[in-house]
Amino acid sequence: MANTHSPLFRFWREFSENRLAVVALLIVLALMVLALFAPYIVPQNPYDLETLSLMDARRAPGFIGSGGYVHFLGTDPQGRDLLSAIFYGLRISIMIGIAAGCIALVLGTSVGIFAAYVGGKIENFLMRIVDLQLSFPAILLALVLVALLGQGKFQLIAALVAAQYAYFARTAYGAAKGERKKDYVEAALATPLSGFQVAFKHLLPNCMPPLIVVATVQIASAISLEATLSFLGLGLPVTEPAWHAHFKRISLHDERSLLDFGLSGRCSYYFDRGDQHCWRSNQRPV
């Protein structure tokens, strides 16, 4: 029982045992690095109209353009280097995905835990709204919202948050409802501690494991949702290259599904694997 390792260390030990998870983590980290350092890696800034030349438009991969560098993936109708555009698009996709995911996490978790904690009519009211929302596909809701709010980064994030917080709310509610019955919560209430303290110091940390799992899925799905919206022409304005806007433009549907798979599906899958491991290890009685 003299297990003096910190929880983080134990998580890492369990995580690192799964090679697949480690490989996935490396891929994710690589993507993050690519997105973060895109301006230093790729030759062209696709936002900078001055560097673009229509002379270079619609060129095949391997073409050496007016900038004097190789367009490894060719160029689009505006003469943008596709490789650069993909890396810059990665930045926006990841940024919107993570921002929307995190805001939805905070909002949804608060709603869920609050509902589970107060109970009664407020609980019923909040959770029925969530249920109602869950009964519609997220994409539908996002479409309507984007149509109402208009285009732009913040509008997109707002639409994604509104579409996705329900998943977090439902998960947090379920977990908190279970934890609420446990002795330690009763002990905290009997001390007595205020409801706020009980909810955030005791309920919240113990509801985290399932929430982390949901978060990994939801961040990935935020990215693909954003991609879908862009593909449908409701995403970011054309001046901003997000990943899937490009796929639409170059109409490489096979490649699209491949990359989609690579970014959203695969990553979240491995994220999940890791988190479930962590979750299980924390649940195990020592």
Q: Is 194 in the site for another protein (CB under 8 A)?
A: yes
Query: Nearest distance from residue 174's CB to another protein, in Å?
Result: 17
Query: Nearest distance from residue 184's CB to another protein, in Å?
Result: 4
Query: Nearest distance from residue 206's CB to another protein, in Å?
Result: 6
Among 45, 53, 151, 206, binds another protein (CB under 8 A): 206
Q: Is 191 in the site for another protein (CB under 8 A)?
A: yes
The footprint of another protein on residues 125-184 (CB under 8 A) is: 182-184
The DSSP element (H or E) to which 71 belongs, if any, is strand 70-71
56 and 63 Cβ atoms separated by less than 8 Å: yes
SS3 193: coil
Name which of 4 and 239 has its Cβ closer to another protein. 4
- One DSSP character per residue, the chain reads ----S-HHHHHHHHHHH-HHHHHHHHHHHHHHHHHHTHHHHSS--TT-GGG--GGGTTPPTTEE-TTSSEETT-B-TT--BHHHHHHHHHHHHHHHHHHHHHHHHHHHHHHHHHHHHH-HHHHHHHHHHHHHHHTS-HHHHHHHHHHHH-SSHHHHHHHHHHHHHHHHHHHHHHHHHHHHTSHHHHHHHHTT--HHHIIIIIIHHHHHHHHHHHHHHHHHHHHHHHHHHHHTT-SS-TTS--HHHHHHHHT-HHHHHHHHIIIIIIHHHHHHHHHHHHHHHHHS--
Q: Is 286 in the site for another protein (CB under 8 A)?
A: yes
Name which of 58 and 201 has its Cβ closer to another protein. 201
Q: Is 120 in the site for another protein (CB under 8 A)?
A: no
Among 8, 190, 251, 254, binds another protein (CB under 8 A): 190
Site string for another protein, 7-36 (x = CB under 8 A): x-----------------------------
Query: Nearest distance from residue 190's CB to another protein, in Å?
Result: 5
Q: Is 186 in the site for another protein (CB under 8 A)?
A: yes
Among 18, 110, 155, 197, binds another protein (CB under 8 A): 197
Query: Nearest distance from residue 272's CB to another protein, in Å?
Result: 21
Q: Is 280 in the site for another protein (CB under 8 A)?
A: no
Q: Which residues bind another protein (CB under 8 A)?
A: 1-4, 7, 182-184, 186-194, 197, 201-202, 205-206, 208, 282, 285-286
